[in-house]
Amino acid sequence: MNQKPWNKIAVLGATSDMAIAFCHFVAKHGISLILIARNKEKLEKIAKDINIRYNVSVETVLFDVEKDDPTILVKKISEPIDVFISFVGYLGNQSKAQSDPKEVDKIVKINYQMPAIITELLLEKIKQSTSNKRMIVGISSVAGDRGRQSNYFYGSAKAAYSAYLSGLRNRLFKEKIHVLTVKPGFVYTSMTQDLNLPPLLTAQPEEVAKDIYKAMLKQKDVLYTKWFWKYIMLIIKYLPEFLFKRLSL
């Protein structure tokens, strides 16, 4: 019989469409979950559904990334966790952010500042785990690879988050705690429901969930999903600035 790689995974932003697909995928493998999100009704519905379908333990913790105190969140998690994964994110309104400091604050807080702070505080729970595959997974974005006029506030917050995860990976290497940075391209979720996404380039949340799980098993450092985004971003990253600044991206 296959031994499961992890016993308990804590998921921040558990009501995200990508997170729901991921939670179903891991619960199918018999892994217990701690689901953290701000919407009580949605959270309990997701938890109940997963518990009934896969017969795994699913705890819920209510937490609003914008308003609540992260030190209280950590106190609510009593047991060691093998993996912490953050899906929390906010696309924001680029044109509003250009004249409204509060919108900038919200974009930075949800996409970078709070996921980083919570990760640091939860580290003690990960260090207590006896798993030989202790891990932190952060969902960043290809948008963080190069700033574009259409969403550079969101992109720069994700760039900060990617840089944070890179530094953390470097710091925790010797302690055998792995850090995986996930950079999705376009994905059909509630975040992108109003956008006209190109079908050939856009993934379903279930595809992303499977890619993340496989990358976790392989202990990859950085995952682009779908896979071809690695090459698209390679071109975008290395386009010379004198050309890039002329494009309407």
Residues that bind ligand NAP (CB under 6 A): 13, 15-18, 37-39, 64-66, 87-90, 110, 139, 141, 184, 186-187, 189-192
Are 144 and 167 contacting, i.e. CB atoms less than 8 angstroms apart?
no
Name the residue among 195, 111, 183 with its Cα closest to residue 154.
111
Is residue 206 a contact partner of residue 21, using CB atoms and an 8 Å limit? yes
Residue whose CB is less far from ligand NAP, 55 or 190: 190
Q: Between residues 7 and 86, which has the closer beta carbon with respect to ligand NAP?
A: 86
Pick the closest to residue 228 from 203, 193, 192 (CA basis). 203
> Closest CB to ligand NAP belongs to which residue?
89
By beta-carbon proximity to ligand NAP, the closer residue of 32 and 86 is 86
Q: Identify which of residues 6 and 112 has a Cβ nearer to ligand NAP in the complex.
A: 112
Q: How many CB atoms lie within 10 A of CB 111?
A: 31
Query: Bridge partners of 180?
Result: 137
Among residues 56 and 208, whose Cβ is nearest to ligand NAP?
208
CB of 139 to ligand NAP, least distance (A): 4
CB 238 → ligand NAP: shortest distance, Å? 21
Dihedral of the alpha carbons of 167, 236, 223, 166, in degrees to the nearest 10: 0
Minimum Å gap between C-beta 53 and ligand NAP is 20
Percent of the chain that is helix, strand, coil (3-state, to 5): 50, 15, 35
> What tokens appear for 158 in the block?
């994700």
Rounded least distance, CB 90 to ligand NAP, Å? 5
Closer residue to ligand NAP (CB): 142 or 177? 142
Nearest distance from residue 249's CB to ligand NAP, in Å?
15
Nearer to ligand NAP (CB atom), residue 50 or residue 88: 88
Supply the minimum distance, in Å, between the C-beta of residue 18 and ligand NAP.
4
Counting Cβ atoms within 10 Å, is residue 74 exposed (0-12), middle (13-18) or buried (19+)? middle
Question: Least distance from C-beta 41 to ligand NAP, angstroms?
Answer: 10
Q: What are the DSSP E strand ranges found in the chain?
A: 8-12, 32-37, 58-62, 83-86, 135-139, 178-184, 186-187, 202-203, 222-225
Q: Which residue carries 């990253």 as its tokens?
A: 237
